[in-house]
Amino acid sequence: MNTYIFTSERLGFRNWKESDLDVLYNLNSDPTVMQYFPAIQTKQQSLDFINRMQAQFSEKEFCYFAVEILESNELIGFIGLSEQIYEADFNPSVDIGWRLLPSSWGKGYATEGAKRCLTYAFEDLNLNEIVSVAPEINIPSITVMQKIGMIKEKSFAHPLLEDYPDLQKCVLYKIKGI
């Protein structure tokens, strides 16, 4: 049985384990999942992500959490928080993000999980503000941002996506804690 940092109605949120690598690699190497990202990721890049998230959780008490369906303990991807420090006028910031297996799409998991992560951010971690960034063409993620109460702040040219003109025009959404 997994020890969850917190749960929502249907989901469990935990830190990463190296045994999660195959599921994460399947997620990160799926062209449909990665259509709004510059490229699919290698197995090594997926392992590097796990290591970064483990380290970030140890230091900050948050990361893009490994997310499981409580009923089955099936790992379906990640939903969570991550520190962002790339050059932008809103950084450093704490970003909320998600990436789920296609078999989990359309079931409300991203919205449910993101709402629970906001509660964790504001009530447990006492963070003041959470941001979210997505390419303007990523309507599914923008829809989740809106469903969880985030407000569009602006559009901007993402500095890390200069070589990807279809993805570079991004939106910044924000939400403040109470």
At 39-92, the pLDDT tens digits run 999 999 999 999 999 999 999 999 999 999 999 999 999 999 999 999 999 999
- Give the Cα separation of 31 and 90 in Å (integer): 30
User: What's the rounded mean pLDDT across residues 143-155?
Assistant: 98
Fold observed for domain 6-130: Aminopeptidase (3.40.630)
| Secondary structure of residue 138 in the 3-state scheme | coil
Q: At what angle do helices 139-147 and 109-119 cross, to 10 degrees?
A: 50
User: What's the rounded mean pLDDT across residues 130-136?
Assistant: 98
Please measure the distance between the N-terminal and C-terminal CA atoms of the chain and give it in whole angstroms: 34
pLDDT score for 3? 86
Q: What's the whole-model pTM score?
A: 0.95
- Give the Cα separation of 54 and 47 in Å (integer): 11
- Give the Cα separation of 38 and 128 in Å (integer): 30
